[in-house]
Amino acid sequence: MTVLDQVLARIDADLDASLDRLFAFLRIPSISTDPSHAADCRAAAAHLAADLRGLGIAADLSETAGHPVVLGCGGGGDARGVLFYGHYDVQPVDPLDLWDSPPFEPRLKTLADGRRAIVARGASDDKGQVMTFVEACRAFVAVTGALPLPVTMLIEGEEECGSKSLPDWIEQNRGALSADLALVCDTGMWDASTPAITTALRGLLYEEVEITAADRDLHSGLYGGPARNPIRVLTSILGGLHDADGRVTIPGFYDGITDPPADVLAAWRSLDLTPDNFLKPVGLAEPAGERSRTVIEQLFCRPSCDINGIWGGYTGAGSKTVIPAKAFAKVSFRLVAGQDPDTIRQAFRAFVREKLPSDCTARFEDHTGAPAVAVPWDLKQLAAARKALTEEWGRDALLVGSGASIPIVADFKRLVGMDTLLIGFALDDDRIHSPNEKYDLVSFHKGIRSWARILSALAG
């Protein structure tokens, strides 16, 4: 029996105790956005730090401008190891009357389809997920007396309110954080039987544009025709941001982007992410992105451009025959690896200015600019983790992208120069942030086993 087999057997045998420990963690109402729960946040951090110390990880609270970070270091040796990130804070629980049981009294519930689930605020996001990793470490320590590789733990307490204090804290503590690889357990499975590693997160560039034409509002009867209408100018420019094939027309927009390897693309194409099951549930039918790309490519590895808001002129009830002086829009771009936010910003602004009539002006406001983050497709730890997940679940682990940004991953790359694997066991029906949040017992149990396999593989 290999060490890993012994560890997995220990995990199976210890599941009830693992659940008890998770329940104890879940009972602490560590709602980070609510100042009246500040002491609970600190209690959750202290509870976790104490638990980690029991595993030989030198863990303690590290102060920030907000709730403390749990920082721990264990596993010794010369090898560089992994940095594990999660968060101990949870979302508020209102509306409380929609909960079937009190949110901080965790319980096991059998769902209508027979699945068993842990129900509590934080069961999935992120206490349950954090504990899958902690319990895997505990099993190694129980079987071998030590962690299989050096492990740094960074469990923050402000993720649910924007991780405001974290970038500064990381910058100040980067020495303590250096590792070969970051592991984040705050994402989901592809579906209940298919594990996934998120390897690419799109970046975000968010611009606001204000077009000014006349120096005052004009009457459309007296001026309509000769007078420039800034809404016409704005719609004409923004209406030209995409061509008939759904491609963004800004010159150079796609420069530097490369496609995922053929096997990854092939795996994506085999997925059942069709317009019917991705778009139909929200009332749509036709993919609106690049015509030559599948829905999943449009989401995982292709940039997009959206107009998130537009306004100008008269927007009240009835009619007003005004030609306004100004028109406004908020335009954002989801970026992928190879695209530089500053370059795209300048290209967008040039695109607008180039189309601007000579008697109009454009003013821009920059709201956000964050590059995409992507794990190199040939990263050896990626292959190792993928293989480990595949062995645990009996199904090829997918490498997926995420359309949305997760700032911590960009920070790890930017501030510590570290790649991140996002591996999690949440399911789409976990109702995170909502009443009756749950985490499947299978997610918890096989999540622990998955981490054991991954740690074993990464320890090499």
Residues 350-369 contacting a copy of itself, CB under 8 A: 357-359, 367-368
Residue with tokens 């984040």: 184
Q: How far is the CB of 289 from a copy of itself (least distance, A)?
A: 4
C-alpha dihedral sign at 369, 372, 373, 376: negative
- In the region spanning residues 96 to 135, those forming contacts with a copy of itself, defined by CB under 8 A, are none
Measured over the CA atoms of residue 335, residue 341, residue 347 and residue 353, the dihedral's sign is: positive
Q: What is the dihedral of CA 213, 219, 221, 223, to 10 degrees?
A: -30
Enumerate residues 4-63 that contact a copy of itself by CB under 8 A: none
The stretch near a copy of itself (CB under 8 A) out of 55-63, 151-159, 229-237, 423-431 is 229-237
Closest CA to 187 of 179, 175, 195, 177: 195
Choices 26-34, 67-75, 224-232, 346-354; region in contact with a copy of itself by CB under 8 A: 224-232
The residue from 62, 298, 339, 443 that contacts a copy of itself (CB under 8 A) is 298
When asked if residue 204 is in the footprint of a copy of itself (CB under 8 A), the reply is yes
Least distance to a copy of itself from the beta carbon of 174, Å?
Answer: 27
Sign of CA dihedral 34, 183, 430, 283: positive
Q: Where does this chain touch a copy of itself (CB under 8 A) — which range of 70-78, 118-126, 145-153, 284-292?
A: 284-292
Query: Which of residues 3 and 310 has its CB atom nearest to a copy of itself in the complex?
Result: 310
3-class SS at 131?
Answer: helix
Q: How many CA atoms lie within 13 A of 138 on its CB side?
A: 22
Q: Say how many residues touch a copy of itself, by CB under 8 A.
A: 81
Q: To the nearest whole angstrom, how small is the minimum distance from the Cβ of residue 300 to a copy of itself?
A: 9
Query: Under the criterion CB under 8 A, does residue 272 sit at the interface with a copy of itself?
Result: no
Judged by CB under 8 A, the residue of 308, 342, 376, 383 near a copy of itself is: 308
Question: Is residue 175 helix, strand or coil?
Answer: helix
CB of 286 to a copy of itself, least distance (A): 5
Examine residue 309 and tell whether it contacts a copy of itself (CB under 8 A): yes
Residues 6+ apart with CB under 8 A from 117: 108, 109, 110, 111, 123, 438, 439, 440, 441
**Does residue 431 interact with a copy of itself by CB under 8 A?**
no
Q: HSE-up of 316 (CA within 13 Å, CB side)?
A: 4
Instruction: Figure out which of the listed residues 254, 278, 364, 377 binds a copy of itself, where binding follows CB under 8 A.
Output: 278
Shortest distance in whole angstroms from residue 295 CB to a copy of itself: 5
The yes or no reply on residue 434 touching a copy of itself (CB under 8 A) is no
Closest distance between a copy of itself and the C-beta of residue 205, in Å?
10
**Is the four-CA dihedral 448, 454, 457, 459 of positive or negative sign?**
negative
Does 277 help bind a copy of itself (rule: CB under 8 A)?
no
Task: Kindly state the tokens that stand for 428.
Answer: 């789409």
By CB under 8 A, name the one of 53, 232, 345, 349 that touches a copy of itself. 232
Structural tokens at position 115: 């699945």
Is 314 a binding residue for a copy of itself by CB under 8 A? The answer is yes
Of 381-410, binders to a copy of itself (CB under 8 A) are 402-405
Shortest reach from residue 32's CB to a copy of itself, in Å: 20
Residues in contact with a copy of itself, shown as a per-residue x/- string from 139 to 168 under the rule CB under 8 A: ------------------------------
* CB burial string 164-201: b at 16+ within 10 A, e below: ebbeebbeebeebbebbbbbbbbbbbbeeebbbbbbbb
Q: Is 202 in the site for a copy of itself (CB under 8 A)?
A: yes
Residues sharing a CB contact under 8 Å with residue 379, sequence separation 6 or more, in sequence order: 419
Using the contact rule CB under 8 A, the part of the chain among 50-58, 172-180, 206-214, 385-393 near a copy of itself is 206-214
By CB under 8 A, name the one of 11, 28, 181, 241 that touches a copy of itself.
241
Among 288, 379, 415, 442, the residue binding a copy of itself under the rule CB under 8 A is 288
Assess contact for 177 and 170: CB atoms under 8 A. yes
**Residues 334-353 vs a copy of itself: string with x where CB under 8 A?**
x-------------------
Name the burial class of residue 348, with classes exposed (0-12), middle (13-18) and buried (19+) by CB atoms within 10 angstroms of its CB: buried
Q: Which stretch binds a copy of itself (CB under 8 A): 45-53, 166-174, 238-246, 443-451?
A: 238-246
Query: H or E stretch including 450?
Result: helix 441-459
Contact at 8 Å (CB) between 409 and 371? no
Taking the C-alpha atoms of residue 430 and residue 116, their distance in angstroms, rounded to an integer, is: 12
Q: By C-beta, is 61 or 214 nearer to a copy of itself?
A: 214
Structure-derived torsion over alpha carbons of residues 130, 14, 440, 134, reported in degrees to the nearest 10: 10
